[in-house]
């Protein structure tokens, strides 16, 4: 019975590894404004994301100007100014501020139950570019009004279900990983042959890490396949990868720990058999 109980606990640990990682990720990564902003910060350097921002901002700004026969030249100047600005520290600062505001809006939507998407308002970026265009003497730049451009980061159909699920993950964020660790220790403690139990538990942790990695990859494919045709897949993939970087890192760490424990238990058994 102790052997069967230990085996059942090992299987449970393997299944709880991905659930624990997702719960901790939702609570400490997505639920924290500083960590969310830090996760999204590298996207300011991503070519695909930057391309989407520049193209949409160019379209938004040029749509505010009626330059007549000079429209093509003005649009080109706006595009060049945006490309130049996208490589400056001021752009990265504006990007971080916009993402922090988007995170606040997401949490507010969860609390209020209103809204169906998380968007980033690039008004600070557009205001900075407008100022540079005026300073450079670009014709008609002073006619550009204050412009708000929103880039959709996340869309959800059922906010009520999302709110319940997110709150449950936040509650389980710390306790579920602790429970998984306690069950792993218990699987070894109750076993008759503890060395074998350590080996099995290590392999169970490794299997859980593989499940986590598979879930992240599968969800990425499903998420990108479900996007509208006009959405840039490269930019959306970069956003997904940035948000799930913690999960991928966790999968590698748990895999390494599990395999190391299993290898140590196997080597200990071989050494004991050596005369």
pLDDT of residue 117: 63
Q: Distance from CA of residue 72 to its chain's centroid?
A: 38
Q: Using CA atoms, how far apart are residues 32 and 173, in angstroms rounded to an integer?
A: 12
Q: Is the pTM of this model over 0.75?
A: yes
Q: What are phi and psi of 121, to 5 degrees?
A: -85, 115
Which residues sit opposite 151 in a β-bridge?
Answer: 120
pLDDT of residue 202: 94
- Whether the Cβ atoms of residue 134 and residue 162 lie closer than 8 Å to each other: no
Q: Distance from CA of residue 191 to its chain's centroid?
A: 39
- Whether the Cβ atoms of residue 164 and residue 130 lie closer than 8 Å to each other: no
Which residues sit opposite 108 in a β-bridge?
Answer: none
What totals of helices (H) and strands (E) does the chain contain, helices first? 10, 2
List, run by run, the mean pLDDT of 10-residue segments along the chain (275 residues): 91 95 90 91 90 83 74 79 82 86 79 65 75 74 74 63 78 89 93 90 95 95 84 88 94 96 90 68
pLDDT of residue 88: 83
Residues in CB range of 74: below 8 A, 6 or more apart: 62, 65, 67, 138, 139, 140
pLDDT of residue 236: 87
pLDDT of residue 254: 96
| Long-range contacts of residues 28-36, Cβ cutoff 8 Å, at least 24 apart | 28/173, 29/246, 30/166, 30/243, 31/107, 31/166, 31/170, 31/173, 33/100, 33/103, 33/104, 36/99, 36/100, 36/103
Q: Helix, strand or coil for residue 275?
A: coil
pLDDT of residue 228: 78
Query: Buried b vs exposed e over 184-219: b needs ≥16 C-beta within 10 Å?
Result: bebbbebbeeeebbbbbbbbbbbbbbbbbbebbeee
- Whether the Cβ atoms of residue 218 and residue 251 lie closer than 8 Å to each other: no
């Amino acid at each position: 019975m102790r052997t069967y109980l230990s085996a059942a606990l090992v299987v449970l640990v393997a299944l709880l590894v991905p659930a624990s990682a997702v719960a901790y990720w939702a609570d400490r990564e997505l639920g924290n404004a500083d960590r969310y902003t830090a996760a999204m910060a590298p996207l300011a350097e991503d070519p695909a994301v930057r391309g989407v921002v520049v193209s949409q901002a160019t379209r938004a700004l040029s749509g505010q100007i009626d330059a007549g026969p000079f429209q093509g030249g003005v649009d080109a100047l706006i595009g060049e100014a945006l490309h130049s600005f996208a490589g400056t520290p001021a752009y990265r600062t504006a990007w971080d501020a916009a993402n922090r505001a988007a995170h606040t809006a997401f949490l507010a939507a969860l609390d209020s139950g209103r809204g169906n998407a998380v968007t980033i308002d690039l008004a600070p970026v557009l205001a900075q570019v407008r100022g540079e265009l005026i300073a450079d003497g670009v014709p008609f730049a002073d006619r550009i009004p204050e412009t708000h451009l929103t880039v959709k980061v996340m869309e959800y159909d059922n906010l009520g279900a999302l709110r319940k699920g997110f709150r449950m993950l936040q509650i389980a964020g710390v306790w579920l990983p602790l429970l998984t660790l306690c069950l792993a220790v218990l699987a070894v403690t109750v076993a008759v042959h503890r060395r074998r139990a350590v080996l099995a538990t290590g392999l169970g942790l490794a299997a859980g890490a593989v499940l986590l990695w598979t879930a992240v990859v599968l969800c990425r494919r499903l998420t990108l396949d479900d996007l509208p045709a006009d959405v840039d897949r490269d930019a959306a993939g970069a956003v997904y990868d940035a948000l799930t970087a913690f999960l991928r890192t966790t999968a590698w760490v748990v895999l390494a720990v599990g395999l190391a424990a299993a290898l140590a238990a196997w080597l200990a058994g071989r050494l004991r058999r050596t005369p």
